[in-house]
Structure 1
Amino acid sequence: MQHSLDMLNFSRIFVIAKNVFQEVIRDRILYIIGVYILILAAAIRLLPEVAANTDGKMFLDFGIAAMSVIALIVAVFVGTGLVNKEIEKRTVLMLIAKPISRSEFITGKYLGLSAVLALLIAIMTGIYLIFLQFGHIHHSANSIVIAAVFLFLQTSLIAAVAISLGVFTSSLLAIVLTLAVYLLGNITQDLLKFGKLSNSPGIQQLTQALYLILPDLSRLDLKNYAVYGLQALPEPSALIANAGYGLIYSALLLAIAILVFSRREF
């Protein structure tokens, strides 16, 4: 009996995730892919580094940076609206009135968006590798694929932040706060070092608190390693630990989102 219930819960989550995936794919994905192709086509023609340097390091860096920015935009702008728009339109009342728990609702939304990000990053990575191949730019495909996997983990974490903030605040404020978390999350280690250099106990406590609370997104950023090749990548144990960190942090954010959402009255 319990096994059947667990399967039923999973199927409800799958239906919600599928609906999110289909809606986002239908509305936006082709335009986003088209924009990325245009950006790479313009870059490979215009960046002087491509012509001056056979390694094409500038294009390598630009291509994966553009991929990161596009995935971030999708995670932030779609993620903040996934739950919030249901609340604002009052359609959430019909959804939670059905035999769907609030935890299934949040989990399904997150998994649907994560699937979109996975597909988007996979397609952009393939396009990026094609441009590198036809541009005769020296690169390590393995390093780029690993960096793309960690980009997915990073943007999935940001999607969890966006959904969590979208549960209890407006879409605009959630967007601003999520972008702030992203920016600060990339410099948490620098903030901690700054605090240690400061003579002010208050600043030291603040930077330590920010370091503990904010996600350390630099652990999931392998863009530079993709540019400089496989030999520069961290050890496999470090990669596994960093991937685990991203997954656990995302799970904690979802747990917070579920807790807040379960206490909301509609």
Structure 2
Amino acid sequence: MTISRIFVIAKNVFQEVVRDRILYIIGLYTLILAVAIRVLPEFAASTQNKMFLDFGMVAMSVIALIVAVFVGTGLINKEIEKRTILVLIAKPISHSEIITGKFLGLSAVLAVLVTSMTVIDLIFLQFGNIPHPTASILVAAVFLFLQLSLITAIAITFGVFTSSLLAVILTFAVYLMGNITQDLVQLGRLSRNPAIQSVTQILYLILPDLSRLDLKNDAVYGLQALPDFTTLILNLGYSLIYSVMLLAIAVFIFSRREF
């Protein structure tokens, strides 16, 4: 059964990543926050609460991003380099099942990672008596997970047809560009150059608009105000559609590779 095979692959990825990395990463995040809550008041006593709230969200995003990129690019690529992919293909498992299972497995890891770090962050905020908009932080965490899932799909797609190092570089490049796509369009308009405007417009259409899924500023500076519900739903749909499209591309490329 297709679903059962996808579940087995996803479960294996989840168990492997959790066993090897997840506890150390959560411990590292806890240590970073413990140091930050002691050190930040030394630099900015008047704004320490806002700085710590911002720092916790940024640290969470960076750590989870590193996991998504480095693990995601190697999910298929390492199987190819070690030739263990031949074992999977020899079994009655389709290319789409392999890609989907790997994606869902790493997405489950990221969900656990983001959830754990969010809980830890809220605990530090609570015990540090730091005012914080809990609802906004939770919404930002959910959309951080969606952004990371999209990055995972990008990482897997690059990992299917490039080396691990190049896939990592390309994924980080897409992440950086994806966060400034709207700024690129504005830059093209300001240039008043048709060629530049065309290039920036093409980049905007091709690259994922990751700024839609970045709600850290809303959590830190938005007080109790949450983003508009309709906007949240549209951005949720955007991330899901883009992820599915990328996975379809990954399956297409993967199915045409010879091993």
Query: TM-score, with normalisation over the residues of structure 2?
Result: 0.97
| 2:128 aligned partner | 135
**2-side partners of 1:138 and 1:50: how far apart?**
19
- Residue of structure 2 aligned with 1:152, choices 130, 140, 145: 145
Contact persistence 1:142–1:230 (CA under 8 A)? no
Equivalent position of 1:240 in the other structure: 233
1:102 corresponds to: 95
1:5 is aligned to none
Q: Distance in 2 between matches of 1:36 and 1:9?
A: 37
Q: Tell me, yes or no, if structure 1 residue 201 matches structure 2 residue 198.
A: no
Percent of residue pairs bearing the same amino acid type: 75
Please give the secondary structure, in 2, of the residue aligned with 1:56. helix
Residue in 1 aligned with 2:178?
A: 185
CA contact (8 A) 2:181 2:209 kept: yes
Quick check: 2:189–2:197 contact (8 Å CA) kept in 1?
yes
1:132–1:49: structure 2 CA closer, same or farther, 3 Å change rule? farther
- Residues in 2 aligned to 1:51 and 1:209: alpha-carbon distance in whole angstroms: 43
Matched, 1:71 2:71: no
* Residue equivalent to 1:162: 155
Pairing partner for 1:33 from 8, 12, 26: 26
Cα deviation code 1:87-107 (max 9, x no counterpart): 000000010110100000000
Q: Please, which of 249, 252, 264 is the counterpart of residue 245 of structure 2? A: 252
Structure 2: runs of 5+ lacking an equivalent = none
Separation of aligned partners in 2, 1:145 and 1:158: 20
What amino acid does structure 2 have at the position aligned with 1:21? F
> Which shows bigger deviation, 48-57 or 247-256?
48-57
Are residue 113 (structure 1) and residue 106 (structure 2) matched?
yes
Shift of 1:49: 7.5
| Cα distance in 1, alignment partners of residues 228 and 42 from structure 2 | 30
For the residues of structure 2 that align with 1:221 and 1:199, how far apart are their CA atoms? 29
Provide the C-alpha distance between the structure 2 equivalents of 1:55 and 1:138, rounded to a whole number of angstroms. 11
In structure 1, what is the equivalent of residue 2 of structure 2? Answer: 9
Query: What amino acid maps onto 1:223 in structure 2?
Result: K
Paired residues of 1:50 and 1:59 also in contact (CA < 8 A):
no
Contact in 1 for aligned 2:133/2:224 (Cα 8 Å): no
Give CA deviations for 1:97-156 in whole Å, capped at 9, x if unaligned: 101000000000000000000000000000000000000000011110100000000011
Give the 3 Å change call, closer, same or farther, for CA 233–222 of structure 1 in structure 2: same
Alignment size in residue pairs: 259
> Which AA in structure 2 matches 1:222?
L
Dislocated runs of 4+, deviation >6 Å: none
Deviation at 1:232, TM superposition (A): 3.2
Q: Helix, strand or coil for the counterpart of 1:58?
A: helix
2:52 maps to which of 44, 48, 59: 59
Q: Gapped runs of 5+ residues in structure 1?
A: 1-7
**Which residue number in structure 2 is paired with residue 83 of structure 1?**
76
Distance 1:50 1:226, change over 3 A: farther
Select between 136-145 and 42-51 the one with higher mean Cα deviation.
42-51
Query: Paired residue for 2:14, among 21, 25, 48?
Result: 21
Partner residue, 1:212: 205
CA distance in 2, matches of 1:232, 1:221: 15
Give the AA of the match of 2:92. Answer: P
Q: CA distance change for structure 1 residues 248 and 49 in 2, over 3 Å: closer, same or farther?
A: farther
